[in-house]
Amino acid sequence: MKLVLALLTILAAPIAQAKESVTVGLASNFSELSTVSFSPFGGYFKDAINLAISDNQKILDKSQIEIVLQDFDYGKDEINVLKKAKEAALSRSIVVMGYNYSSPALLSAPIHVEQKLPVIYPSASANRLSTFGKYVHLGSFSNKFMVETLAKIVSQTIKAKKVLVLAAVDCAYCMDLVKSFEEEIKEYDTEIVKTIQLLEKDSDFTKVAEEAKKLKFDAVFVPCQELTAARLISALTEAGITKPFLGADGWGNEGSEFFRVLKGKKFTGYSVTHWHPKLATQKSKKFVADYLKRFNKLPNDTSVLAYDSMTLLIQTLAKTKPLTRENLEKNLSLVKTFDGITGKAYWGAHQAPRKDIVVLKTTDTGFAIDQIKAVARE
Amino acid sequence: MSKTKSLKGRVSDISIYSFICMSVVMFVCFWAYSVKKNHIAIAQIKSELSLNLKNQTSQFLRSYLLPEQRAGMDLILAGIRNDESLDEIKILESVSDIPNNFTDCKLNETAVTTCSTKNFAITSVIAPLHDSEKTYAYLFKARKNSSAKSVSDAMQFAGAAVFIIALAFFVIYLRLRNLTAKQLPDSMDQLTKWIEAEIEGKEIENITLGFSELEDLKKKISTVIERANKSREQAIIGQVTSGIMHDIKTPLHSIVTATHLVDEQRADSEDRPMLLENLFNMCRNNIPLIREIIETTLDGNRNIQINKSTANLRDTIDKAIAVTKEFSRFRNVSVEVDAPAELFVDYDSTQFARVVNNLLKNGIEAAAETSTTPKVKISATQNEKNINLIVEDSGIGFKGSPDKAFRAFRTTKVRGTGLGLLISKKIVEAHNGKIKASNGSTYGGARMEVELPLGG
C-alpha cells in the first residue's frame, strides 16, 4: 500500500509541479553605485523583491506560478530609461516594477501606457504619475499627499508665518514638491518669503546660505534628496541659521548618510516618510529581522516599498488567469486596499494611494518617529 | 654690348630685393603661424566645449521632457555658461534659433556639429537632445576664440614689423648709397690720383682711401708700377741706347773712316792735307747731326720751348717736301700737296718744321713698305679759329688704337727711336694745338691731323 501510494505520488508529482512561468521586469539603476557604499541604489530594491518572492512562495506555489525576474538596468543616466522601457515593452515581461524615483517614473510612464505594459512604481511620488491612467500603478503616496502633512506641521507645529523654500530646479521630484507646497500653503496663514533656485548637482551651497541669511523667515523647506538636503542644511547651519528645516521622503528614514554629511551640526528638522525601521508593528519587526538576517543590513524605505508592491503583485498574479498583460492590468486596477509593512493603503482609480504617513523629527544623531498619521479609507 | 651696372645700382637692387623677400617671407610666416595657431585654438575650443557634452545633453533632455524641470533649464544654462566661460549657451528648437552671426551652421539630429562666425572669432558646438528615436531640441554652446583676435593682432604686428624693417632697410640703403656714390668714388679718385702721381714719379701727400681693401690694392698697384717702371726704364735705356747708337752709327762711321784715312797717311804725305780736309768736312757735317740726334732723344723726355712769330706755314710745308724729296724719290713714293699759298699763323717755324718733316717722313716710309702705288698727301685748310694740317698715306694704317702711336718707343719701324710722334705731339701741344692719329679713308692708310690755333 505504501508502495502504491508512493508510486502514485511520484506519477502525480510532474502534473502537480507544472507551473506557469511569468516574467516580471525589474527596472532600476542597478549598475549605478552610490556616492557612499552604504546605499547602492538598485540593490535595496532587488533584495526586497527577492525577499517578497520568498515570503510569498506559498501563494505562488498554490497558483502554480513561477516568477522569472528580468532586469532592465538604466544605470546612472536617467535618459536610458526611455530605451529600457521600450526594451521591456518588447520583452516577455507581463509587468514591470521599479523606476524607483520620480524622474525615471515620469519618463517611462508614457511608454508603458503606449505599449500597454502594466508598470508598478513602488516609491515614485510625482503628482503627475496619477494622471496617466491605465497601466500605471503607484505603490506610494504622492508629493501632494506629503505636502498636506508638511503644511500642517509648518502652520500648527512650528507655527511659521514665513517660509524660505530651497528649490533644486534640476530635480523633478523636488520641483513637484515645491509646486505642491506653494499651492497648499495658501490654505494657511503662512507666506513663502522667497524660493531660492539651486542645482541638485552642486555640492557647495555657500552662496545659497549667504542669500538666505539676508532674509527673514521662520522655517526652511528643503524638498531635496538625502545628500543635497544634508549639504544645504549644513551650509545654512554654518551660516548661523537656526530655524527649523522641513523635508519630504527624499531625506530618507535611516539617516546614516544624512547625518554623516552634517557632521554633528545641531538643527531642528521635520520630514515625512513611508516607514521607519523602528516602527513597532509586528509586520515591520518581522520584515526588518528577516531582511537583516538575509542581507546582513537594515532595510530602507526603497526596500520596504518594493517589498509591499511585490507582495501586492504576487497576490494579484495569483488571481490572474490567464496570465496576460491585459488580464493583469485589469486585476491591478481592481485593487483598492492593501495592508502591508508600510501600513494600510487605499487607492482610487489609477491614483496614488492614501497611506499612513510617518512624521520624523531629527535628533542629534538621526531621525526619530514623531508621529504616525494613519489615514482612513475615504 | 651690355651695359655694366654700377656698384650703386647693384647695392640698390640687392637692398630692394632683400627687403621684398624678407617682408614677404616674414608676412607669410606670420600669417601661417597665426592661421595655424587659430586652427589649434579652434580645435581646442571644440574639444573643451565637447568635454561634458554627453552629461549636459542628457541633463537637458531630461529637463526638456519633464515639465517639472523645464523651468530650471535657465539656471542650468547659466551654471554651465559660468563654469565653461561661454559667450553664449541656449537651447535651439530649430535652425532659425541659431544666432545670425554664425555662418554655415547645420543641425544634425544624431551627431554633434560645429560652426563659427565669419572671422572665426567665436566657435560653437551644437549637440542634439535626442533619445534613440527622436530629437527634441539642440544644445548650443559658443565661446570666443582669443586667437582670432591674435590673428588680427599678429597681422598688425606683422605690418608694424614690415614698416620697421622698411625703415631699417631705408637707413641701410642711404648709408650704402652714400658709400657707393660718394665715399667709394672719392676713394677711387684718390687712388687714381695716386696712381698718376706714382707713374709720373711725383710725391703726393694726404691720400686717404677710406677702405682697407683699397689700401691693399694700392700696395699691389705700387708693386706692379715699380716692376713696370723698372722694366720700362730698362726698355727705355735699351731703346734709347739702341736708337742713339743706331742713328749716330752712320755719321760716326763717316768720321771714323775719315780718321782712319788720315791715320794711314804719313805725316809728310801729300794726300794728308786733303784727307784732313775731308775729316774736317765729315766732322762739320756729322757732328751737328749727331748733336741733333742726341737732342731729339733728350726732347722726348723734357718740355719743349717754342718761340712764336707770324709766318707762312706753306713755306714750312714746302721745305719739308724739299728735305724729303730724295727720301721719297728713293722709295718711289709720290707726294701730293693740297694747301693754299698763304697760311699765316703765329708759330715756331723751326720746331714746327720738325713736326711736318716727321709726319711726312713717317708717311713716306709707311707707304713705301706696304703699298704697290705708294702715295702720301699733305693738305692744309684754314677756318676762323684753326689751321688744319693733314698727312695721309697709303700704308696699312694703325693696328689697334692709333693713340698709342704717340707713346714713346712705340715705333713699328725697324729703324728709329720711336720718339718722333711723341716729340711732334709735344711741339703741337706747346702751340696749344692738337694732333690726332687715325686710319684714313682717302688712301686706306694712316691719317695724321694737326690742328693749330690761329691765335697761338
Interface confidence (ipTM) of the complex: 0.84
Sorted by sequence, the CB contacts under 8 Å of residue B266 that are 6+ apart come out as B272
d(CA B286, CA B309): 30
| Residues of chain A contacting B63 with CB distance shorter than 8 Å | 170
Surface-to-core class of residue B326, CB atoms within 10 Å of its CB (0-12 exposed, 13-18 middle, 19+ buried): exposed
- B65 to chain A, any CB pair closer than 8 A? The answer is yes
Is residue A334 within 8 Å of A111, Cβ to Cβ?
A: no
Sign, CA torsion B275/B281/B285/B290 = positive
For residues A371 and A288, which has the higher predicted lDDT (pLDDT)?
A288
Picking from A166, A170, A228 by the largest number of B CB atoms within 10 A of its own CB, the best residue to mutate is A170
Q: Could you tell me the three cell numbers for A329? A: 492590468
Query: What is the per-residue pLDDT across A213-261, written as a single tens digit (0 to 9) for each?
Result: 999 999 999 999 999 999 999 999 999 999 999 999 999 887 888 898 8
pLDDT at B417: 47
Query: Is CATH 3.30.450 the classification given to domain B7-150?
Result: yes
pLDDT at B247: 67
Mean pLDDT (whole number) for A342-352: 86
Query: What is the per-residue pLDDT across A117-174, written as a single tens digit (0 to 9) for each?
Result: 999 999 999 999 999 999 999 999 999 999 999 999 999 999 999 999 999 999 999 9
> If you write DSSP's letter for every residue of B356-401 in order, what string do you get?
HHHHHHHHHHHHHHH-SS-EEEEEEEE-SSEEEEEEEESS---SS-
Domain ranges of chain A: 16-140+281-347, 144-273+359-373
A77 C-beta neighbours (distance < 10 Å), count: 16
Report phi then psi at A173, rounded to 5: -60, -45
Sorted by sequence, the CB contacts under 8 Å of residue A95 that are 6+ apart come out as A24, A25, A117, A118, A119, A120, A313, A325, A328, A332
Closest CA to A252 of A30, A38, A28, A27: A38
How much of chain A exceeds pLDDT 70, in percent?
92
Query: Is CATH 3.30.830.10 the classification given to domain A144-273+359-373?
Result: no
Residues of B (73-92) whose Cβ lies below 8 Å from A: 73, 75-76, 79
CA distance readout (Å), A234 to A170, A222, A377: 20, 12, 39
CATH number of B309-453: 3.30.565.10
CB distance B72–A197 less than 8 Å?
yes
Q: Is B89 in a helix, a strand, or coil? A: strand
Altogether, the residues listed in chain A come to a count of: 378
Chains A–B, number of C-beta pairs less than 8 Å apart = 59
The pTM for the full model equals 0.63
Each residue's pLDDT tens digit in chain B (456 positions)? 456 777 778 878 888 888 888 888 888 887 787 778 778 888 888 888 888 898 899 889 888 889 998 888 899 999 899 989 999 999 998 888 888 888 778 888 888 888 888 777 888 999 999 887 888 999 999 998 876 555 666 667 777 777 777 788 788 878 888 888 888 888 888 889 888 888 877 777 777 788 888 888 888 998 998 888 777 777 776 766 766 676 676 667 778 888 988 998 888 888 889 989 988 887 887 787 677 767 767 776 667 788 999 999 999 999 889 888 888 888 899 999 999 999 999 999 988 988 998 899 899 999 998 768 899 999 999 999 999 999 999 998 887 777 767 765 555 554 444 667 888 898 999 999 999 999 998 888 999 999 999 975
Fold match between B7-150 and B309-453? no
pLDDT at A155: 93
Closest CA to A96 of A108, A106, A107: A108
Closest CA to A126 of A185, A182, A176: A176
Domain ranges of chain B: 7-150, 212-299, 309-453
Q: Could you tell me the three cell numbers for B77? A: 544654462
CA distance readout (Å), A98 to A311, B130, B269, B424: 14, 24, 178, 137
pLDDT at A37: 43
Termini Cα distance of chain B: 42
pLDDT at A264: 86
Sorted by sequence, the CB contacts under 8 Å of residue A234 that are 6+ apart come out as A261, A262, A263, A265
Gap from A180 CA to chain B (nearest CA, Å): 11
Sign, CA torsion A78/A79/A85/A87 = negative
Mean pLDDT (whole number) for A190-200: 94
pLDDT at A284: 92
CB distance A78–B68 less than 8 Å?
no
| Residues of chain B contacting A83 with CB distance shorter than 8 Å | 131-132
Q: Which residues pair with B381 in a beta bridge?
A: B388
Which ranges of chain A would DSSP assign to H, the alpha helix? 2-16, 41-55, 57-62, 80-90, 102-115, 143-152, 172-184, 206-213, 226-238, 256-262, 282-295, 301-318, 325-334
**Closest-CA residue of chain A to B62:** A79
| Residue A157 DSSP one-character state | I
The amino acid at A154 = V
CATH number for domain A16-140+281-347, candidates 1.10.10.60, 3.40.50.2300, 1.10.3720.10, 3.40.50.300: 3.40.50.2300
Mean pLDDT (whole number) for A74-79: 85
Gap from B108 CA to chain A (nearest CA, Å): 19
